[in-house]
């Protein structure tokens, strides 16, 4: 497994990392045994970073991870978790809320610290100035107390992440759905700011929450009809040539060396093994170019998330 530096943290992270949303049952039921098999196989394959959140399953993801990382597995992996988002429509980015959330996360994870703590989906905050002051301040206090080694924020709009980097002395940010076959705005709108400040960027949702898959996105997906149709057309064009658009999308993300790690949702061992095979194979650039050409009409189109404008 290729290792890459995570910004100025000094951490070497695996090019592929594992995400915890599916572990929290957000995409259907999964057993603890299945999660254990997946996580242990991923660690054995060289993956050394797991990203989760108090929001995923309202703590279920962290609880299961705490169970499957017992018996020495915790010492072999770095954990990143998030606070501030409680449910789909409840948020608490206050100092007290962030601190309480982390303490609960540590209990569920059965650890005394996490490697990375992030404020989760900050574009949903009611007061952005409070994010850049109170929320950032408590993150740094928790870091000073040893409850986390590094701090950061996550969001969908790139503009708010760029502002957070410029104002909050962050170590890490997570961006999602902005580096994929359909959208590469991460590299032009956020990466220059992050690199200037030495901030590590983790790329989540490399398949744009299901857009770039054979089965297509779930009904709740926020993309408009034009984007959905273009992705389905691209998938069909790849299929006609014997290629899987999801595998091409993963290879495209792994090939970008400026991105330290791409987070993949892996609650089942079969999915993990498919991703590992994709990572190990040479990138199919003919297939990648076929897919990106088919997506040209919706290149870099996005959707609304939260309240951020700018």
Which residue in 56, 124, 156, 176 is the catalytic one? 56
Beta bridge partners of 82: 118
In the three-class reduction of DSSP (H, G, I as helix; E, B as strand; rest coil), residue 51 is classed as: strand
**Residue linked to tokens 């449910």:** 87
In the three-class reduction of DSSP (H, G, I as helix; E, B as strand; rest coil), residue 221 is classed as: coil
Beta bridge partners of 172: 152, 200
At 17, phi and psi to the nearest 5?
Answer: -125, 165
Tokens of 274: 């498919």
Q: Are 204 and 232 in contact (CB under 8 A)?
A: no
In the three-class reduction of DSSP (H, G, I as helix; E, B as strand; rest coil), residue 268 is classed as: coil
Q: Are 195 and 187 in contact (CB under 8 A)?
A: no
Question: If you compute the radius of gyration of the chain from its CA atoms, what whole number of angstroms results?
Answer: 18
If we measure between CA atoms, which residue out of 158, 153, 123, 155 comes closest to residue 136? Answer: 153
CA dist 233 and 113 (Å) reads 45
Is 128 a known active-site residue?
no
C-beta neighbour count of 148 within 10 angstroms: 26
CA dist 175 and 286 (Å) reads 27
Q: Are 83 and 98 in contact (CB under 8 A)?
A: yes
Q: Please identify every residue annotated as catalytic.
A: 56
């Amino acid at each position: 497994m290729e290792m890459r530096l995570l910004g100025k943290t000094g951490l070497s992270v695996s090019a592929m990392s594992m995400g915890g949303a599916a572990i929290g049952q957000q995409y259907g039921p999964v057993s603890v045994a299945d999660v254990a098999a997946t996580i242990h196989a991923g660690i054995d394959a060289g993956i050394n970073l797991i990203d989760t959140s108090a929001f995923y399953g309202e703590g279920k993801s962290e609880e299961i991870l705490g169970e499957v990382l017992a018996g020495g597995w915790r010492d072999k992996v770095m954990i990143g978790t998030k606070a501030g988002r409680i449910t789909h429509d409840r948020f608490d980015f206050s100092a007290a809320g962030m601190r309480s959330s982390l303490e609960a996360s540590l209990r569920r994870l059965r650890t005394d610290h996490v490697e990375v703590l992030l404020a989760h989906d900050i574009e949903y905050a009611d007061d952005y100035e409070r994010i850049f002051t109170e929320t950032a301040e408590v993150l740094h206090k928790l870091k000073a107390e040893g409850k986390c080694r590094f701090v950061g924020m996550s969001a969908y709009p790139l503009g708010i992440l760029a502002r957070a980097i410029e104002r909050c002395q962050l170590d890490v940010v997570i961006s999602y759905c902005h580096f994929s076959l359909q959208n590469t705005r991460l590299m032009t709108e956020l990466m220059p700011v992050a690199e200037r400040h030495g901030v590590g960027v983790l790329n989540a949702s490399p398949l744009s929450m299901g857009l770039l898959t054979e089965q297509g996105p779930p009904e709740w997906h926020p993309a408009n009809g034009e984007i959905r149709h273009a992705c389905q057309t691209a998938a069909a064009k790849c299929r006609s040539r014997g290629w899987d658009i999801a595998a091409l999308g993963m290879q495209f993300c792994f090939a970008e060396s400026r991105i330290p790690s791409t987070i993949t949702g892996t609650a089942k061992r079969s999915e993990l093994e498919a991703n590992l095979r994709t990572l190990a194979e040479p990138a199919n650039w003919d297939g990648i170019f076929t897919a990106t050409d088919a997506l040209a009409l919706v290149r870099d189109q996005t959707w609304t998330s939260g309240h951020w404008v700018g």
